[in-house]
Amino acid sequence: VALQQRGDLAGAEKLYRSILKQHPKHFQSLSNLGSVLLLAERVEEAIECLRGALNQKPDSAVVQTLLARALAMVDRHDAALERVRRAIALDPNLPEAHAIEAQVLADTGRYDEAAAALGRAIELAPERAGFYHYWGHITRWRAGDPRLAALEALFRTRASRPLPEQIELSFALAKAYADLGDIDRAFPLLIEGG
């Protein structure tokens, strides 16, 4: 897990596979290996591992969500939607599940439903920069949207966040200001984000 968190996907994969040689049905190793393979964009292998993990523990909302994400990556939208909705039924307070549901719905052109799902993800995890960034991809920001005030407050804390989140916050706020017609505030944020 430490290797995975440091970004050493090859090292993490090697250790997970070593554990699975001894214990082929070890839920956490199957789940974590699936996550590593997903990060490495080896999606079909990830799907196999995640299905193996769900054979051991079908009530894992986190693994159902990971599998939904993997299925969405290979355009299996119906299966992805089924999995993510199962995850939400298991744990309605899992923000990642609502975000994946939003992605799948947006990928299939169901933008109003996608916005509702992503709005729920933002409610559950208002500190997640990526959710605001994605909001600007699937909908237009509107004056008076309470998410805008939350985004602006989050943006003020950007210096304490990792660089990828700082970039997401800059681009998210630039898109918000551009949607509202405030190009003078949007343009410097695009430069900052880039």
pLDDT band at 76 (very low <50, low <70, confident <90, very high): very high
- The residue length of the chain stands at 194
Query: If we measure between CA atoms, which residue out of 138, 141, 139, 166 comes closest to residue 154?
Result: 166
Work out the number of other CB atoms within 10 angstroms of the CB of residue 86: 18
pLDDT in tens, 165-175: 999 999 999 99
SS3 27: helix
Q: Residue 188 contacts by C-beta under 8 Å, 6 or more apart in sequence?
A: none
In this structure, are residues 36 and 20 in contact, taking their beta carbons and an 8 Å threshold? no
Rounded distance between C-alpha atoms, residue 95 and residue 101, angstroms? 10
pLDDT of amino acid 120: 98
pLDDT bracket for residue 191 (50, 70, 90): confident
Alpha-carbon distance of 194 to 189, in angstroms, equals 8
How far the first Cα of the chain sits from its last, in Å, is 31
Give the lowest-confidence range in 4-8, 92-96, 130-134, 187-191: 4-8
Q: Give whichever of 18-22, 92-96, 180-184 has the largest mean pLDDT.
A: 92-96
Check pLDDT > 90 for residue 194: no
Amino acid at position 129, single letter? A
Q: CA-CA distance, 121 to 99, in Å (whole number)?
A: 6
Looking at residue 157, what is its pLDDT? 94
How far is it, in rounded angstroms, from Cα 129 to Cα 111? 20
Please tell me which residue, 104 or 194, carries the higher pLDDT value. 104
- d(C-alpha 82, C-alpha 88), whole Å: 10
pLDDT of residue 105: 98
Q: What is the mean pLDDT of residues 98-107?
A: 98
Distance separating alpha carbons of residues 84 and 90, to the nearest angstrom:
10
Cβ–Cβ < 8 Å for 83, 64:
yes
pLDDT at 193 over 70: no
Mean pLDDT of the chain: 94
